[in-house]
Each structure stands twice: as structure tokens, then as C-alpha cells.
Amino acid sequence: MEKQCILNDADKYPQTYPKEWLETQWVHIGFGAFHRAHQALLTDELAKQGKTNWGICEVNLRSQQSLMQTLKAQGYRYSVLEKGAQGNELKIVNIINRALHYKIDGCQAIVEQLAAPAIKLVTLTITEKGYGLDPNTGDLDHNNPVIAHDIAYPDTPQSALGLIVEGLRLRMASGYRAFTVLSCDNIQGNGHMVQKAVLALAQLRSSELAQWITEHVTFPCSMVDRIVPAATDDTLKEIATELGGDDPCGIACEPFIQWVIEDDFVAGRPDWDQVGAEFVADVIPYEEMKLRMLNGSHSFLAYLGYLAGYDTIDAAVADKNFALAAKQLMLNEQAPTLAMPAGTDLEGYAESLLERYRNPNLKHRTWQIAMDGSQKLPQRFLKSASILLQKNTPFPHIALGVAGWMRYISAVDEQGNDIDVRDPMASELKKVSDSATTSSDKVRALLDITSIFGDLGENEHFAQAVQTSYERLIAVGAQQAVAELIV
């Protein structure tokens, strides 16, 4: 006899609001760890206060088939364990009332849900790779296999973009109102990016469709922040202990949560500001603050911390030199590149980030943060370096961060052990790295990858700074190279 899921035990975990109250008004594409601990959780908190009945239909396209099947078996409920330095808090999320997987339910079921008249919002957490844009030009990548398929067979799309376009086409044909498309990925100008991609794909269908989308669909930008490590066996065991039973859909995260959103919705939205979100006219300054100060320092700690032998972020910042170097990076090299609203306390922000990093219960792996560096470097390091070069301001911490990435993607650590590099360009990066015979040649060859560095790789001041940092990193190792940054 199959064991009943603990979340279906109504006596132990009663529903705080009935599922029947929820109406599916929102489709989310990308039912990953972050969404479970962020957008879905906040909306559930709002529903628990009786302030929204917006149910979510979750959609996954290629991965995590078993996760979606488990979610259904659990009555579309799952747990979130917020792990603070002083203790844990377990929350049960009930806001989901449908789940679809492309390989299980098929394309048509997803398109029909997107085209349903009740849908008012589509949100996305599909990572940079999911938008099908050429990283060098920012245009729709016709060579991307999934995008190429959607261009050739637009009625049976395989990408998130293609599904959205087909859903909107059917809504236009049926005379239904449009929905808002809200990217929640950690990408600067995410709303502008998804708008450009959707319109480019729509234009290939018909100019009429592209014009209708232009006139009726909005694509607000948003900035999201919460540290949500990927679930491990140890994480799931800890959740099971707190829960009193297994929850394969469970996720652990830090207590801190932030969501800044441009308030531009064509068909309404939940009042997320009543549970801590912030609606603003322009989210770009907040995005830049997070991408450069938080994500930039995270990448700095990830690459150099991993090389120094630190498995987790809290272990890295327990090293006083790493903590101080991260703070100097944020305040001396990243903060001066920002244009924040008056009164923004960037020093306080930096201190709050370090406090979050020190959380000993989170165990955010440096290896996880180091993933997909080729996609992250431009926003986290390179834009700031370009601005500082224009100001004739040194950037030794950024230079060492870039050098740390170059050392990391060689796929061999300082002890000669293999590194499992996860990056869409991993094979190309390894080939470039291995083909160089000297450290100078390696730095130069990597800087010549324009899809990452653009014109910046040709700047001799930037190249020299990275070269100097890389040679020092090779000579003394990550721990000593970071210590030498301290001023």
C-alpha cells in the first residue's frame, strides 16, 4: 500500500484556505527551487490573509517530470523551510492548483491554459538560457535548436517564448484580453529582454500579431532576491525531520526575501506589496544594485572560495580576508557605478549582504553559484569594470574575480582535482583554456571571446589588470591572492 504524503494529513497540516477558493489566473513557467521559495510563497502568504484567490498553474518544459508528478500526488502542496541563523521556520504552500509538464501533458494542454480567458499573468523563471537570445547581439537566436523549431512549427512550440506567442495568438483570435508577461529571472532589464524576444518571434508569425502584442501586452521588469540553494539529499532529510514526513518538492532558503516590480499590469495583479514586495516606476537601479553588489560579490566568493577549498559561502566569509575583500568589492568598486534613488544606504546594504552570507544553516555551495559564469560575468563584473575604466578608477577586486573565473573554468583546481564546470559554453571554454601554453596566452584567448567580453577584452588596461591578477592567482593561490587585496 502506497504511503500517504504527510502534507495530505488534514489533521496535522490543515489547509488555511480551501483550494476551491482559488481560480487559475496565473501561469508560471519554470517550477524550480527559486520560484517555490519566492513568488509562489509570497502569493500563498497573501492568500492566507484572505487577500487574493489567484491560483497558479505551474509549467515545466523539459526537466523534473517526477517533481511535477509528485506535486500532483501531494495535492499541489509543498513545504518551504526558512533557515535563519537563530532557527528554522517551516511553511506549507497551498497556492498551486494545477501543474503541467510538456513531456507528460503535451504542448496543446499548455497552450490551451495560456489561451484560457481567466489567465491574467504569465511569469517566468527559466534562466538566461531559456530566452533563446544570442548572448553577443541580444537578438533572437535563430540557430538555437528550440527557437529554430518554433520558427518552423509555430503551432507546436517547444520554448517558453513560443508557447507565450502561440497563447497570445489564440487570445487575439478569440477576442480575449491579453495577459502581462513578468520575468522573474536574475537578469538586468528582464522585462525588456523578454519583450524583445516575444515580439521578434511574433513578427515571424505575422506583423498583425506583433502589433497586437505591442499594443496590449506589458512586460514589466522585476528584481528578485532570496538565497535558495539547490535541494540536496541532506536538505530533503532536514525538511522531512521538520515536517514529520518526506516532501520531494520541499525547498530550503534564507529568511530574507525581496521583490521589486514595475507596476505595469494590463489585467490586474495580486497585492504583493502587502506581504513585502515593492512596486516602483523604475526597477533598473535596484536590479543594478543587486546584480553588482550581491551577485557580483557572490560570484567573487564562489570562484575564489571554491579554489581556496571553501565548499560553501558561509565558510568563505568565515575567512576574515574573504569577508573584507567582498565588502571592499561592493563598496569601492561596485557601489560607485550605481545611480540609486536618494537616501539609498549602500553601506548598510553591503553589511546586510555579509550578514546573510554568514548564515551557517544555509550551506549555499560555491560550486552552485559558480554555474553558468559565461552568462553572468557581463552583468556582475564587466559592466562595472567598463564604468570604472571610464573614471580611471582601479578595480583590483573585479580583476581578481574575473581571473578566478578563468582559473575555475580550466576545470582543474589548485590541488589538481577535476572541477565539474557547469556552463553552456563549458566545452568551448575548456578548449580555449587548454590550447594556451602560457598564462598570458590563456588570458588573452579568453578575453577574445566576444560573446562574453565584447569590446572590453580589447581594452589594454582591463586586459593588463586581469593578467596581473591571474598570474598572482597562479603563483600564490586563491587564499593568498585574496588576502593581498586587503587595504
Checking if the pLDDT of 60 tops 70, the result is yes
How distant, in Å, are the alpha carbons of 102, 127, 270, 331, 410 from that of 479?
A: 46, 31, 47, 21, 18
CB atoms within 10 A of CB 464: 12
Cell numbers describing residue 47: 492568500
What's the distance, CA 214 to chain centroid? Answer: 26
Q: Got the DSSP string for 203-227?
A: HHH-HHHHHHHHHH-----EEEE--
Length of the chain: 487
* pLDDT score of 1: 37
Digit-coded pLDDT (tens) for 83-125: 998 899 999 999 999 999 999 999 999 999 999 999 999 999 9
SS percent in the chain: helix, strand, coil, step 5: 55, 15, 35
- AA identity, residue 274: Q
Q: What is the mean pLDDT of the chain?
A: 95
Rounded CA-CA distance 157/151 in Å is: 8
pLDDT band at residue 187 under the 50/70/90 scheme: confident
Rounded CA-CA distance 235/81 in Å is: 9
3-class DSSP assignment, residue 431: helix
Checking if the pLDDT of 165 tops 70, the result is yes
Checking if the pLDDT of 487 tops 80, the result is no
* pLDDT score of 86: 87
- Of 49, 101, 58, residue with least CA distance to 76: 58
pTM of structure = 0.86
pLDDT band at residue 3 under the 50/70/90 scheme: low
Checking if the pLDDT of 196 tops 60, the result is yes
Instruction: List domains and CATH numbers for the chain.
Output: 6-280 (3.40.50.720), 284-483 (1.10.1040.10)
Digit-coded pLDDT (tens) for 387-441: 999 999 999 999 999 999 999 999 999 999 999 999 999 999 999 999 998 999 9
Cell numbers describing residue 420: 565539474
Q: DSSP letter for 418, please.
A: B
Identify the sign of the CA torsion 128, 39, 369, 325. positive
Digit-coded pLDDT (tens) for 337-377: 999 988 999 999 999 999 999 999 988 999 999 999 998 99
Pairing of strands 258-262, 222-225: antiparallel
- Of 44, 41, 82, residue with least CA distance to 255: 82
Work out the angle at residue 74's Cα, subtended by the Cα atoms of residues 70 and 77, and round it to the nearest 5 degrees: 110
- Of 312, 431, 289, residue with least CA distance to 368: 312
Place of cell 553558468: 372
Rounded CA-CA distance 281/220 in Å is: 10
Cell numbers describing residue 333: 568598486
Checking if the pLDDT of 303 tops 90, the result is yes
pLDDT band at residue 466 under the 50/70/90 scheme: very high
Checking if the pLDDT of 293 tops 70, the result is yes
Pairing of strands 78-84, 54-60: unpaired
- AA identity, residue 469: S
- Of 184, 165, 21, residue with least CA distance to 94: 21
Pairing of strands 78-84, 87-93: antiparallel
Q: What is the mean pLDDT of residues 197-203?
A: 97
Q: DSSP letter for 361, please.
A: T
Digit-coded pLDDT (tens) for 16-54: 999 999 999 999 999 999 999 999 999 999 999 999 999
Digit-coded pLDDT (tens) for 435-465: 998 999 999 999 999 999 999 999 999 999 9
Q: What is the mean pLDDT of residues 55-77?
A: 95
Rounded CA-CA distance 210/154 in Å is: 14
Rounded CA-CA distance 62/163 in Å is: 13
* pLDDT score of 5: 85
Rounded CA-CA distance 98/115 in Å is: 15
Cell numbers describing residue 268: 490586474
Percentage with pLDDT > 70 across the chain: 99
- AA identity, residue 251: I
